[in-house]
Amino acid sequence: MKRLNFDVDVIDCEGGEGVDLDILRQKLEADQAHVVKAVCVVHNETSTGVTSDIGEVRQVLGIDLLLPTRHHQIVTYQSIEASKHAKSTRGYFDWGEYIKCYKSGSYWPYTPSVQLLYGLRASLDLILKVEGLENVIARHSRLAEATRQAVIAWGLTVCAKEPKWHSTVVTGVVVPPWLNSNDVIKVAWKKYNLSLGIGLGKVAGKVFRIGHLGYVDELQLLGALAGVELALTDVGYPVTLGSGVAAAQAILSRQTPSIASRL
């Protein structure tokens, strides 16, 4: 936003913490002149594995329009009505044109990217028909919990400081001060063909990240955790081989359901 020359008031949070709702509320209540026009929040901070509660943020804001990313939006009827009277110049993306086509039984007023739509359909089939949306969400949750239990078994700590901030897609792992997390990442990649995420910004060299999102299953995660244990051993961290894997297995054996298509 600063690069776009907006006047930005940044609320810094400590690494491992989510959005401070009290500070956000105080700043908005103090803005009696309504100078604040937008609030930008990182929902899932992948550099630390921290997720903020967007539902609570919404309650503080009382918002009409949510722009999660460049490719999807959530709006209210009030914001749609407001767009009808907007005077800003619009080209390809005009809500009015899209809504008009939708009401007539179509979706796009212009030629869309057909190949991307075919890819989207294939992905949605995997999510909705093959595995099921609720099962996808549950899988991410149990893989995340299994990863966190592995981290605890290694004697390390999760970057997210409280359970309410735990991400279900990536876990940040804090290493002791005498160890550079980049060394763990290098060994994992060069020796065991395992790709781990680096620490960014203030946690560079202090954190490595384990991803458990997308099409990742239980056995893939266990293999990755075993690779992390090997890398930790190689860089001199005193870890008992198999300890994290066993802790993760204990979670997965209890929570993993049978595959529906094979019952």
**Per-residue model confidence as pLDDT tens digits over 145-197:** 999 999 999 999 999 999 999 999 999 999 999 999 999 999 999 999 999 99
Q: Which domains are seen in the chain, by residue range?
A: 2-103 (no CATH), 132-262 (3.90.1150.10)
Residue type at position 11: I
Residue keyed to tokens 């979706």: 107
The predicted structure's pLDDT at residue 94: 76
- Determine if residue 214 is left, alpha or beta; phi over 0 gives left, psi from -120 to 50 gives alpha, anything else beta: left
DSSP 258: P
- By CB neighbour count within 10 A (0-12 exposed, 13-18 middle, 19+ buried), where does 17 fall? middle
**At residue 7, what are phi and psi to the nearest 5 degrees?**
-85, 110
User: Which amino acid is residue 174, in one-letter code?
Assistant: V
Do 248 and 221 form a contact (C-beta atoms < 8 A)? yes
pTM: predicted TM-score of the whole model, two decimal places: 0.79
Convert the pLDDT of each residue in 79-95 to its tens digit.
777 777 777 777 767 77
CA–CA separation, 48 and 206 (whole Å): 10
The partner residues of 186 in beta bridges, in order of sequence, read none
Overall residue count recorded for the chain in this entry:
263
CA distance 198 to 194: 13
Over the chain (263 residues), the average pLDDT of each successive run of 10 is 84 83 88 85 87 82 65 66 76 77 81 90 93 94 98 97 93 98 98 96 94 95 98 98 98 93 78
Burial class (CB in 10 A: 0-12, 13-18, 19+), 11: exposed
Residue labelled with tokens 């407001």? 82
**The predicted structure's pLDDT at residue 259:** 85
Cα dihedral 182, 185, 191, 192, rounded to 10, equals 170
- Residue 68 sits at φ, ψ, to 5 deg, of -65, -45
